Structure 1
């Protein structure tokens, strides 16, 4: 337990001399953003995810089979937008690959613009969950999540992918002492799960209590703060900035 708590602490307050420097807490913030955004996409835009592509593939199968409440068009739109966003994020990562701080900063600039645009649309349109506005929001948010996931993949901070928790939860269980493992990075993995849960909880509470645009505003604020912090990181020449 003590080792897990220490691991959690060093994830939130990292040693700047560590191989990943200030990146772990930034990845946690992006994980919260994922929870906020997927709350909007699933609860407001109609049973579709913009970050969890596994869910969209499954939902597409449900829709084709005739299950009520699922739209193959919405799922395919999210998949396509995410793929394009991942392409853009990949280009950003390859362009700035010599410095991990620049990769993060450029990706956050792009993602912040996309999510903020989605917030403005959701805030100003009376029916953001219908018609072309719905698909516009799915596209903007899917693009943003694709950029984020590609950047996280390029940064490669262990157990902090920001959008996928399946392997994280598997690691908590399969690497635990109960399973015969050493329990490595349990604290960090649990924090990732908690971060996404908190984002989803806050997002769902806002939507269910009548403010569907609020999660996107919160996500935009977190991304904007992250963008400013990442800009400061671009000036570092510490060891963590060197690509893996």
Structure 2
């Protein structure tokens, strides 16, 4: 089997004796969630991201410069809510650092609550999402994704950050055989990029076809399933649950 396919398969169906055990497919599920919610936030909430904070910093710059179509308020609210979620995620990380399974479980439960609340807002408010409903959605989704990012960072599963693909795509090219590299982990990196692409495509198709609530509903379902899996996994004391050695 080619190395790329073997890496991809090993990410989707991991070796449970590996240092990261069952975490890779769960990180991929969260990557799909990122694509879904950012599709809604950008296309329905006014050119703002709830997961990609690099984009919001750039959008803030555009708004400061007076570019049309960008909301400084929306970008700043998203940044603040995301930072608050990351703070909460950091608290979870430091209180559960001894068991990576429980760390993921608590983070997923917190994120699920935020995204489920956002789903309820989309159902109650109706479309288009404007005024208070718009900013409520930005806050709830950015809070949830902030928690996700903080815990994904602490879990440190290689090339599965769940939101940031810049270094992942850089690694695909920079470590390829064309550069003299080993091409290692290319399969995992490609799968990660495809997971976000899948979420974004599904989310955008739903929004563009008049179903803006559907991506948030799908994200909620994925998070509930992932939370259930993490709750089961949190009961084990397998080697992968132990803290990573500090570098």
TM-score (norm 2): 0.98
For the Cα contact (< 8 Å) 1:63–1:70, is it kept in 2? Answer: yes
Structure 1: state its 5+ residue gaps: none
Counterparts of 2:31 and 2:196, CA distance in 1: 5
Counterparts of 2:216 and 2:123, CA distance in 1: 9
Whether 1:13 aligns to 2:7 is no
Please name the residue that 2:117 is paired with. 117
The Cα of 1:128 is off from its aligned counterpart by 5.0
1:84-233 correspondence runs (5 A): 84-233=84-233
Counterparts of 2:196 and 2:129, CA distance in 1: 23
The Cα of 1:156 is off from its aligned counterpart by 0.3
The Cα of 1:127 is off from its aligned counterpart by 3.5
Structure 2: state its 5+ residue gaps: none
**CA distances 1:130-166 after superposition (whole Å, capped 9, x unpaired):** 1011000000000000000001001000000001000
Please name the residue that 1:78 is paired with. 78
Counterparts of 1:156 and 1:225, CA distance in 2: 21
Moved >3 Å (runs of 4+): none
Q: The residue matched to 1:103 in structure 2 has which SS?
A: helix
Counterparts of 1:127 and 1:2, CA distance in 2: 47
> Aligned residue pairs: how many?
244
For the Cα contact (< 8 Å) 1:46–1:129, is it kept in 2? Answer: no
Over aligned residues, Cα RMSD in angstroms? 0.8
TM-score (norm 1): 0.99
For the Cα contact (< 8 Å) 1:121–1:128, is it kept in 2? Answer: no
Q: The residue matched to 1:168 in structure 2 has which SS?
A: helix
